[in-house]
Amino acid sequence: ETGVTQTPRHLVMGMTNKKSLKCEQHLGHNAMYWYKQSAKKPLELMFVYSLEERVENNSVPSRFSPECPNSSHLFLHLHTLQPEDSALYLCASSLGGLAPDTQYFGPGTRLTVL
Partner 1 sequence: EDQVTQSPEALRLQEGESSSLNCSYTVSGLRGLFWYRQDPGKGPEFLFTLYSAGEEKEKERLKATLTKKESFLHITAPKPEDSATYLCAVQAPETGGFKTIFGAGTRLFVKA
Which residues of this protein are in contact with partner 1, per CB under 8 A?
4, 6, 40-43, 45, 50, 55-56, 88, 90, 92, 100-108, 110
Q: Is the dihedral of CA 28, 55, 105, 86 positive or negative?
A: positive
Per-residue DSSP letter, 85: G
Residue whose CB is less far from partner 1, 10 or 16: 10
In the chain, count of helices (H) and strands (E)? 0, 11
Q: CB of residue 107 vs partner 1: minimum separation in angstroms? A: 5
Q: CB of residue 80 vs partner 1: minimum separation in angstroms? A: 26
C-alpha radius of gyration, the chain, whole number: 13
Q: How far apart are CA 94 and CA 68, in angstroms?
A: 15
Residue whose CB is less far from partner 1, 50 or 71: 50
Selection from 66, 8, 63, 11 nearest residue 34 by Cα: 66
Q: CB of residue 16 vs partner 1: minimum separation in angstroms? A: 27
Q: CB of residue 105 vs partner 1: minimum separation in angstroms? A: 4
Residue whose CB is less far from partner 1, 18 or 102: 102
